[in-house]
Amino acid sequence: MAEAQSTRPGSTNTNRQKVLRKVPWIDGGMAGQSVYVLQCQRSGCGHEYGEEGIRVHQRRCPKCDGGAPGLPVPEPVPTLFG
Ligand SMILES: [Zn+2]
């Protein structure tokens, strides 16, 4: 389904929020929903935060685009960026 496409790591939604990775160990508060780490791609921002999968496709950055506060996320795994 189209829903799965929007949460694939590397994809970016229409508000320029990029999916970095899935965070399976965080309970986002919705039954059956995984949390994803998003990173803002807007100029000069780069803010990272968590969001439930069902909302990823319409997410706005909480730091520079007026979105709701994100969920807490663990530190990035260094090997992903090395
Ligand atoms: Zn931002």
Model pLDDT for residues 27-57, shown as the tens digit of each residue: 555 566 788 999 999 999 999 999 988 899 9
Residue 65 CA to ligand 1 center (angstroms) comes to: 6
Q: What is the mean pLDDT of the segment spanning 76-80? A: 60
Across the chain, mean pLDDT equals 83
Please tell me the distance between residue 41's alpha carbon and the centre of ligand 1 in angstroms.
7
Work out the angle at residue 26's Cα, subtended by the Cα atoms of residues 23 and 32, and round it to the nearest 5 degrees.
Answer: 90
19 or 3, greater pLDDT: 19
Q: Work out the burial of residue 59: count CB atoms within 10 Å of its CB; fewer than 13 is exposed, 13-18 middle, 19 or more buried.
A: buried
Burial-class residue 82 by CB neighbours within 10 Å (0-12, 13-18, 19+).
exposed
Q: How far is the CA of 61 from the centre of ligand 1 (A)?
A: 5
Q: Are 15 and 61 in contact (CB under 8 A)?
A: yes
